[in-house]
Chains A and B, each alone.
Chain A
Amino acid sequence: MAVFSRGFGGRARESAPDLPPGQFLTEDFPVLSAGPTPEIYTAEWSFSIRTETGAQHTWDWEQFRALPSELVSTDIHCVTRWSKLGTSWRGVSLDTLFEEVESSYDYVMAHSYGGYTTNLPLEDLLDGKAWIAYEFDGEDLDPEHGGPARLLVPHLYFWKSAKWVRGLVMMKDDEPGFWEQNGYHTYGDPWQEQRYW
């Protein structure tokens, strides 16, 4: 049972049906990064998916941008307890990117420029649940928010939406990525408050 904090009234009463437990609303777009923002030129950018056979599917920026894109309106939830509702993105669905990919593995490690990694079950990336996003609010995605392109998996805490993503590697077993080795939950469902180990 919670203790009451004398004199605390709570000002905002920000509870909303769309707000997962323990989150508060923000109008800003805060940044959570572990290190410097890498400088990435689209001329040198590529994105690839690698499977257990060693097969690698790779797109350069031009090929990637030629793929059909989707406008995504979604709520995002950061483990540091801010949520931002109704954000607007444009990106390529992972369903599109996985069309030609054959793998019997069930897990994925996302790798980013700068060395960041995060692990996800494959099923959380498919069926319209995840994108490689390159626009936010109709503008090119800012480098500090993951530009030129980031993973967008909005139904999980936002550290799963790897900034500066450069590739996915299929994994047989679920292995922890960067924050998952540093104290964060392996799956990260905001509605279950899967924040920490």
Chain B
Amino acid sequence: MTDWKVGTVTDTRTETPTGRSITISVDGWPGNLAGQHLDLRLTAPDGYQAVRSYSIASVGDGSTVELAVDRFPTGEVSPYLVDDVLPGDQLEVKGPLGRWFVWTPEDTRPIQLVAGGSGIVPLIAMARAHAMSGSTTAFRLLYSVRTPEDRFFADELASLESETFHVDYVYTRSTPADWPTPPRRVTRDVIEALTISAADAPGVFVCGPTGFVEAVARALVELGHDPQSVKTERFGG
């Protein structure tokens, strides 16, 4: 059983109208694989504590971790992380956790990532790991967001574009000007057009709200993907 470690917030960056990324320096953090998560604990002055699980956006051996959090308006922890926390503030983390929803460079299959909203967090860790490792395996990301402003890590994703990494966006509410398609959902047809074909036997990682993950995973299986090669992670009710 790993113990709680003290973390100090070193940086925050607004990513979207409702979300931001937070960098935390953690004493004794052992590093983490791409796709793992951690538990984060906040303690109020009267001793009251709240704990939530968050996916980790960063990857590697360092002692800092980056999270990206979307504000859940009626939530207890996410509004604090998005609106209130400042560099210098302290909190506690436990982790890294999870050994299933992870990608390591030893995996040489083509990899398809599918993100809904802040479900991008563990997947950008994989994209970063792919770039850092010099892996030449093909990576492709399908990223569904409501509007262009709702993209997390937009600049970094653009800079990661390469011969072996490509991002496709799907906008569900409003698109950038001159976008070739009107707002749409990630349907089976969209997945068929914008992802690595089942014939190429990719590993697939899907992360997002439950309804999104259910629909995407079902469509992937209908399109011929082996259910064993589709890994999912969900959040929300």
Contacts and interface: CB of A to CB of B under 8 A. Distances in A.
Contact of A10 (B42, B231, B232, B235): B42
A11 B42 CA distance: 12
B114 to A, nearest CB: 12
B90 A10 contact: no
A32 B234 contact: yes
Nearest to A183: B99
The dominant DSSP class at the B interface is mixed
Interface stretch (B44-52, B63-71, B182-190): B44-52
A182 B84 contact: no
Contacts of B231: 34-35
Interface stretch (A1-9, A41-49, A53-61): A1-9
Given A35-B228, A196-B97, A8 B80 contact: yes
A8 B232 contact: no
B156 to A, nearest CB: 27
A3 B217 contact: no
A37 interface: yes
Which of A4, A14, A35 counts the most chain B CB atoms within 10 A?
A: A35
B210 interface: yes
Contacts of A30: 210, 234-237
B217 A37 contact: yes
Interface string B206-237: 00001001100110110000011011101111
A90 to B, nearest CB: 22
Given A30-B210, A182-B99, A4 B76 contact: no
A66 interface: no
Given A5-B90, A30-B234, A81-B51, A183 B98 contact: yes
Contact of B84 (A8, A24, A27, A183): A8
The dominant DSSP class at the A interface is loop
A176 B141 CA distance: 33
A115 interface: yes
Contacts of B45: 4
Contacts of B99: 181-183
Which of B50, B221, B228, B235 counts the most chain A CB atoms within 10 A?
A: B50
B108 interface: no
B43 A8 contact: yes
Contacts of A144: 210, 214
A8 to B, nearest CB: 5
Interface in B2-51: 2, 4, 6, 39, 41-45, 47-51
A140 B12 CA distance: 45
A81 to B, nearest CB: 6
A16 to B, nearest CB: 13
Given A144-B210, A183-B97, A183-B98, A4 B217 contact: no
A5 B97 contact: no
A8 B6 contact: no
A145 to B, nearest CB: 10
A161 to B, nearest CB: 17
B198 to A, nearest CB: 13
Given A10-B50, A36-B217, A183-B99, A3 B43 contact: yes
A181 B221 CA distance: 25
A33 B220 CA distance: 16
Contacts of B228: 35, 115
Interface in A83-123: 114-115
B100 A3 contact: no
24 contacts: A3-B43, A7-B80, A7-B84, A10-B48, A24-B52, A24-B76, A26-B237, A30-B237, A31-B210, A31-B213, A31-B234, A32-B234, A33-B234, A34-B232, A35-B227, A35-B228, A36-B217, A36-B221, A36-B230, A81-B39, A81-B53, A144-B210, A182-B98, A196-B97
Given A24-B52, A36-B217, A196-B1, 7 more contacts: A3-B91, A5-B43, A6-B90, A9-B44, A14-B76, A24-B50, A183-B97
